[in-house]
């Protein structure tokens, strides 16, 4: 059986690399990890994993990205993939965008960049609780 997947979405490669290192060091081989540098690239991965019958259990997305803001992207994800836990990570998101994502995407958590590693890992651990039990 294949491992559940954590998907990171950010247009900054350095942010993706940092997230991968921090999360992989904490959760190791319990999960597979994927990265996307845009909402469009993330949609492609979401479809590919669904077709392959692989479960993405957590998606962590930036807010300020080209073409589509994170709140809009996460709302669409929640509508099509309601079982995926969603975390938004941003230095720039305003309260209105955060509230919209909480209201319409059932946002699990919002964290400001630069994030505190232990706080990020704690939120991820909390988000993954049901996924680990299944």
- Provide the CATH number for the domain around residue 92: 3.40.50.2300
- Is 53 a residue whose pLDDT tops 80? yes
State how far the alpha carbon of 128 is from the alpha carbons of 47, 86, 97, 119, 133, in Å.
21, 10, 24, 14, 9
Q: Fill in the DSSP letter of residue 115.
A: P
Looking at residue 132, its pLDDT comes to 46
Closest CA to 55 of 34, 84, 77: 84
Number of domains in the chain: 1
Cα radius of gyration (the chain): 13
Looking at residue 134, its pLDDT comes to 42
Residue the block writes with tokens 């995407």: 105
Q: Are 89 and 113 in contact (CB under 8 A)?
A: yes
Looking at residue 51, its pLDDT comes to 97
Q: What is the mean predicted confidence (pLDDT) over 28-34?
A: 97
pLDDT band at 130 (very low <50, low <70, confident <90, very high): low
Q: What is the mean predicted confidence (pLDDT) over 105-130?
A: 95
Q: Are 61 and 109 in contact (CB under 8 A)?
A: no
Q: Which domain holds residue 101?
A: 5-133
pLDDT digits 0-9 by tens, 58-113? 999 999 998 999 999 999 999 999 999 999 999 998 999 999 999 999 999 999 99
Q: Are 107 and 101 in contact (CB under 8 A)?
A: yes
Looking at residue 90, its pLDDT comes to 94
Give kind and range of the element (H or E) at residue 82: none
């Amino acid at each position: 059986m294949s491992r559940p997947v954590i998907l990171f979405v950010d247009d900054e490669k350095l942010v993706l690399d940092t997230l991968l290192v921090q999360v992989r060091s904490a959760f190791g081989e319990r999960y597979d990890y994927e990265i996307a540098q845009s909402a469009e690239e993330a949609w492609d991965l979401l479809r590919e994993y669904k077709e392959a019958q692989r479960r993405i259990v957590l998606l962590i997305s930036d807010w300020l990205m080209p073409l589509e803001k994170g709140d809009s992207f996460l709302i669409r994800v929640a509508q099509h993939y309601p079982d995926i836990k969603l975390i938004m990570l941003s230095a720039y998101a305003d309260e209105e965008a955060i509230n919209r994502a909480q209201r319409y995407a059932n946002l699990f958590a919002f964290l400001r960049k630069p994030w505190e590693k232990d706080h990020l890992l704690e939120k991820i651990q909390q988000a993954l609780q049901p996924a680990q039990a299944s």
